[in-house]
Amino acid sequence: MVRVNEDIARKVADVARLLYVRGLVQVKGGNVSFYDRPEGLLYITPTGVPRHTIREDDIAIMKIDGTVLVGTPSSEYRLHLSIYRSIEEAVAVVHAHPADVIALYEAGLRISADIMTEASIRVGCVTDVPPLTPGSEELASATAEALKASGCRAAVLRKHGIVTYSTRDVYEALDAAEALADAARVILFSRLIGS
Asked whether the predicted pLDDT for residue 195 surpasses 70, the reply is: no
- Give the pLDDT confidence score for residue 117 in this predicted structure: 72
Digit-coded pLDDT (tens) for 78-124: 999 999 999 999 999 999 999 999 999 999 999 887 777 777 777 88
Spatial separation of the C-alpha atoms in residues 132 and 134, rounded to whole Å: 6
Looking at residue 60, its pLDDT comes to 98
Averaged pLDDT for residues 130-147: 97
Instruction: Report how far residue 171's alpha carbon sits from residue 74's, in angstroms, rounded to the nearest whole number.
Output: 19
Task: From the candidates 6, 76, 145, 178, give the one annotated as an active-site residue.
Answer: 76
Instruction: Return mean pLDDT, the chain.
Output: 94
Query: What is the share, in percent, of the chain residues with pLDDT greater than 70?
Result: 99
Q: Domain limits of the chain? A: 6-194
Active-site residue, 76 included = yes
What CATH number was assigned to the domain covering residues 6-194? 3.40.225.10
3-state secondary structure of 13: helix
The whole-number pLDDT of residue 158 equals: 96
The rounded radius of gyration (Å) of the Cα atoms in the chain is 16
Counting every residue written for the chain, the total comes to 195
CB 155 within 8 A of CB 128: yes
Three-state helix/strand/coil letters over 76-88: CHHHHHHHHHHCC
The pLDDT tens digits for 52-75 are 999 999 999 999 999 999 999 999
pLDDT at 169: 96
pLDDT at res. 194: 76
pLDDT bucket at 21, cuts 50 / 70 / 90: very high
Q: How far is CA 135 from the centre of its chain?
A: 13
As to burial, measured by CB atoms within 10 angstroms (0-12 exposed, 13-18 middle, 19+ buried), residue 68 is middle
